[in-house]
Amino acid sequence: MIDIHALSGAYAVDALDDDERSEFERHLAECPACQAEVASLREAATLLAETTPVTPSAVLRDRVLADIATVRPLPPVVEQQHQPAIGTVTTLTSHRESRRRRRVVPFLAAAAAVIAIGTGGVVYQAVTDEPPTSSTEQVLEAGDAQRFTVDLDGGGTATVVRSRELNQAVIETHDMPDAPAGHAFVLWLGHDGVMTQAGVMPQGADQEVLMSGDAATATSAAVSLEDADTNPTSPSDDVVASFDLST
């Protein structure tokens, strides 16, 4: 026998026959949980009806189709053509459930297609179950990534990771002491001896910061200690880390 609660989805999309609808409506009058679910499903169905079709980009379409190819489909539902075996009872309820599934599944598939196309930006994330890769992660995982590490006074290390292909660099710190009160660690990239500000290190011993500026042609990098209320155009004499990126 079917769990009466399981009919809420079919009821919301008008996929029940008259007998099933009457039975479920009697249950619905006394079940707050089903009332809430039906209201929610009907709201979703209304939103789908108002959705404007959007043609997905070729890149999105190819990405989705490629990801779908990696998903193992469920086996098809095959209706038995032979008579039930002796001792097997085929109930009217089971026939109704089979018909209900055949009516509801196409609706759900169509709804999924509308959502996928109408919210194209979400498709990749939903299919792959992975968050988008940040710019920092792209640099750290780049195939051409170069790493330049120096030891810091007082312990700890700082590493500049540079990808010429991405034209970006990231500085990683481990066990780096915080800047004194009223001061900040400022990042620099150097080109032919000219240093250009590339960001500010946040407080915290372990950080990963994407540096701004042209990293591909940079020949040096540095971290200097500066007054927090200034906007320096060149490093002070208090350089806490210096990197040779010329290799």
The DSSP 8-state label assigned to residue 204 in this structure reads S
| Model confidence, pTM | 0.49
User: Which of these three, 128, 160, 192, is where a domain ends?
Assistant: 128
Spatial separation of the C-alpha atoms in residues 51 and 138, rounded to whole Å: 35
pLDDT tens-digit map of 76-103: 544 455 444 444 333 444 444 544 444 4
Number of neighbouring beta carbons within 10 Å of residue 93: 13
Decide if 223 contacts 193 (C-beta within 8 A).
no
In this structure, the answer to whether residues 225 and 156 fall within a common structural domain is yes
Average pLDDT, the chain: 75
Q: Which two tokens stand for residue 81?
A: 């053509």
Decide if 139 contacts 168 (C-beta within 8 A).
yes
Q: Above pLDDT 90, what percent of the chain? A: 35
Average pLDDT over residues 14-24: 85
Q: Which residue has the tokens 């990801």?
A: 67
In this structure, the answer to whether residues 94 and 174 fall within a common structural domain is no
Q: Which residue has the tokens 């809430």?
A: 36
In this structure, the answer to whether residues 16 and 117 fall within a common structural domain is yes
pLDDT tens-digit map of 23-76: 888 888 888 788 888 887 877 777 666 655 656 555 555 555 555 555 555 555
Average pLDDT over residues 131-153: 89
Q: Is pLDDT above 90 for 114?
A: no
Q: Is pLDDT above 50 for 207?
A: yes
For residue 84, the model assigns a pLDDT of 41
- Count up the domains in the chain and report the number: 2
Using pLDDT thresholds of 50, 70 and 90, give the confidence band for residue 118: very low
In this structure, the answer to whether residues 111 and 28 fall within a common structural domain is yes
The DSSP H or E segment spanning 144 is: none
In this structure, the answer to whether residues 24 and 58 fall within a common structural domain is yes
Q: Is pLDDT above 50 for 122?
A: no
In this structure, the answer to whether residues 119 and 148 fall within a common structural domain is no
User: Which of these three, 103, 128, 153, is where a domain ends?
Assistant: 128
In this structure, the answer to whether residues 122 and 170 fall within a common structural domain is no
User: Which of these three, 110, 128, 146, is where a domain ends?
Assistant: 128
What residues contact 142, with CB distance under 8 A and at least 6 apart?
A: 163, 165, 166
Structural domain boundaries, residue 13? 4-128
Q: Is pLDDT above 80 for 119?
A: no
For residue 39, the model assigns a pLDDT of 83
Q: Is pLDDT above 70 for 162?
A: yes
Average pLDDT over residues 112-117: 45
